[in-house]
Structure 1
Amino acid sequence: MKKADVIIVGSGIAALQLARTLSQQSHVMIITKNHRRSSNSFMAQGGIAAAISKEDHSDQHFIDTMIAGEWHGNNERVKRLVEEGKEAVEELIAMKAPFDRNTNDEFSLGMEGAHSTHRILHSGGDQTGKHLINFLLETLSTPNVEWIENEMVIELLFNTSGSCIGVQTKNYAEETREYFSSHIVLATGGAGGMYLPTSNHPSVSGDGLAMAYRAGARIADLEFFQFHPTLLTIEGEAIGLISEAVRGAGGTLINDHGDRIMEGKHPQLELGPRHIVAHEIFKQNESGRKVYLDISNIDRFQTRFPSISTMCVQNGICLEEGKIPVSPGSHFMMGGVVIDEIGRTNLKGLYAIGEVACSGVHGANRLASNSLLEGLVYGKRLASYLIKSLEIEGPRDFSSIKFRKKTKGSLPFSMKEIQENMMKYVGIIRDKKGIDIQLSWLKSTSLSPFENIEDWDRKTIQTYYMWINALLMTESASLRTESRGGHIRLDFPQVDDSNWLKKRIVHEQRNQRMKVEYDEQREIKIYA
């Protein structure tokens, strides 16, 4: 039996921040589906939002976050995020993290959508994730960290008392293995791969979300999915992300007639909240117009945005002409596995941090560059809790139980079909007709969300988990009859505070049914 003090599933910023603190004294096992650098965190371009300048304040960062999230966020948790986030960033600065500075040796703070001031720390211009992940990897206490790479976690394991005590994995040779710990942390990222196009790493398709649901964890807010406004798009195919920092540096959005498409749409124009900007580009595309990011007014573009420049040039874009073709694509999941303020789920021994978790800090639409911040804060916070837990921990029963009947791994749909149908019917714009079509299609199979998948191959399991997530997301979109943040319905176009501000949608595994729960204080703690 292979055991560790703590098992972390995933290798993004939340996972590494947690491991960095724990590894000083505990045996930490990090299991990742692919390579340790195969994560959305590593791909992050923009940066980390923190009120570190003299002109800024955490209170303003709090207000910007709440406004972007259309007041669906948890006030207390957002407040703690921005305050502890500032401390976490200052700790990284003290550790000599490689944040960019200007000629006066001051931090070069960027501006991004829905922020009221410059507060985005970045590295390598537009390569923040790469530099930060490499930095955190270097800070791990190597003797205490055990890496399990290229193994996909396919199932959470439980003992007879209902505690999560391990995980089951499959490697590329389709061999099944099991690992055990009293503390299992999901840091698997979001589910951007549920859609096409997407800015996410190809491996990010919501495995952690589906596994947690199958195990009985509570799930919330899956109707809120953020679509990034600007993906480089060549002949209808999305190539890669164009950071919001480009618009913060002065880039404007124009159509093929040369019109500024955000004029009159939002007071902050191109720097309005992401769901608003993405919606406007989507409407332009639907009407037959092409949309471009005009970079002609940005000085030293190639120096300031080296990786974006390289991507554009490699795909035949002449930067001297000053126009980059863009369209929206799936980017970030605001909902997820419901956690308390520490990262605990409703299942003993199971935790979730980062994008896979519904922590209450993003509301209905994440504020730009708050995602890396969330990973830093919750990684550090959960580490403090686990260190104390490990000190007083008693013996644990590691006898796992099997509770699913074996079934054949045959699916009547492909991964691409799920992705295309999700974008078509539960994408940037939704309505009852499309949602019902998608629900009917998803439920037309005889599959259950609780199949025994042990003998299935990795690709089939990933596709099956995408089907589960599609079902949960579509049910969520069906239930929320208003438009708020990343959930935009043509048939319910207005924000409906009287009926929806204080409601949360929660999926429960019990009896395989959907359930609406009410929270009069807009807090998540009643589910923890």
Structure 2
Amino acid sequence: MWKVHKSDLLIIGSGIAGLTLSLIASQYARVTLVTKSKPGEGNSYWAQGGIAGALGRDDDPKFHYEDTIKAGKGLCDEEAVTILVEEAPHAIQFLFQLGVPFDTTEDGDLSLGREGAHSRNRIIHAGGDATGKNIIDSLLKQVKSNPNILLYDGIQILDLMMADGFCQGAVGLSHGMEIQAFQAKITVLANGGLGHLYPYTTNAHGIFGEGYSMAYRAGARLRDLEFIQFHPTALKVNRSPLPLISEAVRGEGAVLVNQLGEPFMEKIHPLKDLASRDIVSQAIYREMKKGRQVFLDARNIKQFSNRFPTIYSSCMAQGIDPEQDLIPVVPAAHYAMGGIETDFYGRSSISGLFALGEVSSTGVHGANRLASNSLLEGIVFAFRAAEAIWDSLTTNCQPHGKIYLPYTIEQLLQVNSLNQQILVKELQNLMWEFVGIVRNGDGLLKAKQQIIDWLKEQGNVPNSYLHQLTTAKLVIEAALWRKESRGAHFREDSPESLIDFKKHFVQGGYHESYSHQSVAGTSTS
């Protein structure tokens, strides 16, 4: 037997987008918020760089717009970017009202930093490089005290529940191997990206890309999954996830050098060490292909330990003093620009299903996300989604119905009891070798065939590994289609950007695995 939890709104994921939406929607709906780890332990919490907004005296939303469009390499949706930059002040004001302790100058003004590819100082921080932590802590405090929000942690969501093309919620599994069905009138995927498809990533534990696969299997359209941003400067140590060395460190004057002590970015781009992430990552990769180690020289930054306390602690834990030593760095999988295709209110192509944050594709990031736009996107589009969800709940929302799953509960429990850590390592190494910073057609085809073979062995009952394989296959197929280099997607067999590919690649839009099989359960509220 299994439990059925009913609510108006189900939100899967407790990052900045999911927490913000839950607070807004709790004013008019019964909200269930589900996370597979502890609440808030996702990528948003570890965000160091800050949140972007045109708040400076010399800044304007039009400059923020121009920088975002330029970084996106021709694939940003102009209307989506306009929404993002114009609604940024409102989003930041919302955080102020929550009590987020943003950093200020001695005069009491907001302290505005600069990061890669920004033309103005417009990045606000809270606690130096602990911006994400301070934002999430402030949001969680409000969520946990809100009586209209039911918070479930330790639940691995395994699949969406569908009925006649309408999303009815999701089915999950607790750490104690108990099946839980979360039935809702509206379901929101806000469960992050896919960083742990790679062995080197800055993503929090458990970020494997399940959201993309669940949506695809249910019939949603996905867009631009080939664009995976590798952060140029993760601390090169023997652990995963790798500690992030924020863009802000280079913004304060740190310089990339090779093991010969040579600065190399000045030969590659006019913005030097503050070029966009794709350019910097590829430059580091080329140095590494020459057999050279790469370091970040931050010894010229005064009071590094005060300005970047989290980074300083991470380095010191590895015996590296940033104020005295060079910091070894390596590019690491950091952010997925593509995702579940949505409109400007978070609605996917499936009735009853929304997507927010990194798992979504709103169009603001194009082929390469501008630094510190991700936290902003999560808040801005959570507010807009709240409008659309209110409209759906009060007008044409489908009521709770029967639960349909294309497999039995026994199958679900059996498949999810398997230990698949070794298989995950094999997948990660495959993706790093053939679907990483530099790609080519032959390698992508080899990777695709291996994924197909592994999928045949898995069957169709969902678990984390099946979702990882499915998402990996979608990424590879998109990378094979895009026979050019653009933004975060670089193919050495087609290194130029081509006008014929100045367009989006869409996958899905049909039901891959659902047949109607009613499943009964024990209902709770």
Q: Same fold, TM exceeding 0.5?
A: yes
Q: Within 5 A, what are the aligned runs for 1:108-127?
A: 108-127=111-130
8 A contact 1:214–1:509 mirrored in 2: no
Q: Which amino acid aligns with 2:507?
A: H
**1:30 and 2:61 correspond:** no
CA distance in 2, matches of 1:352, 1:220: 13
CA displacement 1:385-422 (0-9 Å, x = unmatched)? 21233233566141012334758737797001111110
CA distance in 2, matches of 1:438, 1:377: 37
What residue is the counterpart of 1:262 in the other structure?
265
What residue is the counterpart of 1:520 in the other structure?
none
Of 189, 194, 197, the match for 1:191: 194
What residue is the counterpart of 2:472 in the other structure?
470
Of 425, 429, 438, the match for 1:429: 438
1:197–1:512 distance in 2 versus 1, CA, 3 Å: same
8 A contact 2:312–2:321 mirrored in 1: no
What residue is the counterpart of 1:525 in the other structure?
none
What residue is the counterpart of 1:56 in the other structure?
59
What residue is the counterpart of 1:500 in the other structure?
501
Q: CA deviation at 1:51?
A: 0.2
What residue is the counterpart of 2:169 in the other structure?
166
Q: Which amino acid aligns with 2:70?
A: I
CA distance in 1, matches of 2:397, 2:362: 29
CA distance in 1, matches of 2:232, 2:455: 37
8 A contact 2:223–2:340 mirrored in 1: yes
What residue is the counterpart of 1:150 in the other structure?
154
What residue is the counterpart of 1:516 in the other structure?
none
Q: Within 5 A, what are the aligned runs for 1:121-520?
A: 121-140=124-143, 142-159=146-163, 161-234=164-237, 239-392=242-395, 396-404=399-407, 409=415, 414-445=423-454, 447=456, 451-453=460-462, 461-497=463-499, 499-501=500-502, 503-508=503-508, 510=510
Q: CA deviation at 1:470?
A: 0.8
CA distance in 2, matches of 1:298, 1:427: 32
CA displacement 1:176-209 (0-9 Å, x = unmatched)? 1111111000000111111110000011111111
CA distance in 2, matches of 1:305, 1:359: 31
Q: CA deviation at 1:83?
A: 0.6
Q: CA deviation at 1:224?
A: 0.4
Q: Which amino acid aligns with 2:426?
A: E
SS of equivalent to 1:155: strand
CA displacement 1:456-483 (0-9 Å, x = unmatched)? xxxxx21221111111101111010000
Aligned length: 503
CA distance in 1, matches of 2:205, 2:327: 23
Q: CA deviation at 1:369?
A: 0.2
Q: Which amino acid aligns with 1:463?
A: Y
8 A contact 1:231–1:238 mirrored in 2: no
8 A contact 2:17–2:357 mirrored in 1: yes
CA distance in 2, matches of 1:58, 1:48: 14
Q: Which amino acid aligns with 2:290?
A: S
Q: Which moved more, 1:377-386 or 1:121-130?
A: 377-386
Q: Which amino acid aligns with 2:424?
A: M
What residue is the counterpart of 1:47 in the other structure?
50
What residue is the counterpart of 1:456 in the other structure?
none
8 A contact 2:189–2:356 mirrored in 1: yes
Query: TM-score of the superposition, structure 1-length normalised?
Result: 0.92
Structure 1: runs of 5 or more not aligned: 454-460, 514-528
1:275–1:363 distance in 2 versus 1, CA, 3 Å: same
Q: CA deviation at 1:318?
A: 2.4
1:237–1:31 distance in 2 versus 1, CA, 3 Å: closer
8 A contact 1:428–1:487 mirrored in 2: yes
Q: Which amino acid aligns with 1:428?
A: I
Q: Which amino acid aligns with 1:421?
A: L
What residue is the counterpart of 1:86 in the other structure?
89
Identity of aligned residues (%): 39
Query: TM-score of the superposition, structure 2-length normalised?
Result: 0.92
SS of equivalent to 1:427: coil
CA displacement 1:72-103 (0-9 Å, x = unmatched)? 11011111111112221133234442111011
What residue is the counterpart of 2:518 in the other structure?
none
CA distance in 1, matches of 2:40, 2:28: 24
CA distance in 2, matches of 1:371, 1:198: 17
8 A contact 1:114–1:271 mirrored in 2: yes
SS of equivalent to 1:319: coil
CA distance in 1, matches of 2:407, 2:141: 41
CA distance in 2, matches of 1:337, 1:5: 22
Q: Which moved more, 1:188-197 or 1:232-241?
A: 232-241
SS of equivalent to 2:264: coil
8 A contact 1:254–1:261 mirrored in 2: yes
CA distance in 2, matches of 1:421, 1:479: 19
8 A contact 1:404–1:450 mirrored in 2: no
1:412–1:92 distance in 2 versus 1, CA, 3 Å: closer
Q: Which amino acid aligns with 2:204?
A: H
8 A contact 1:342–1:382 mirrored in 2: yes
